[in-house]
Amino acid sequence: MNADNMKMRAQLKDGLLEVKVLISHPMETGRRKDDSDRLIPAHFVQLLTATWNGKIVLEAQWGTGISKNPYLTFYLQGAQVGDIVEVTWHDNLGESATQKIAVTQA
């Protein structure tokens, strides 16, 4: 999957950087059935990592309990306008995507 499947925003608000991430992903639990009563295989994001200017700031391990089209907001202290935030996810079927953006002032 490519980065079109991710939307990101990184804005400084009162000195704190707010990073919002929205990922297009089915987050199938493996317990749902399709119209023909067959189980839909599990398909979900397991790992999301975020870096700030190349340093790891957040590692998130996820299970199937994260909602479809996962949404995440996290916060960084000490960031400045122009800093680079990069987010990468990996799912249980080996798919992944990465996106990076520059920090802006809110």
Partner 1 sequence: MKRRDFLLGILTLATLAPIKVLAALWNKAAFESTRLQDASRHLQINAEIPSQLIEIVAPERAENGAIVQVEVRSHIPQTEAIAIFVENNPNPLIANFIFNNGAQPFVVTRIKMAENSEIKVVVKSAERYFTHSKNVIVLSNGCG
Rule CB under 8 A: which residues touch partner 1? 16, 29, 31-32, 46-47, 49-50, 52, 55-68, 70-79, 88, 90, 94, 96-98
Closest CB to partner 1 among 96 and 104? 96
- Spatial separation of the C-alpha atoms in residues 58 and 73, rounded to whole Å: 11
Q: How far is the CB of 32 from partner 1 (least distance, A)?
A: 4
Q: How far is the CB of 90 from partner 1 (least distance, A)?
A: 7
Query: Which burial class, exposed, middle or buried, applies to 102 when counting CB atoms under 10 A from its CB (0-12, 13-18, 19+)?
Result: exposed
Give SS3 for 5.
helix
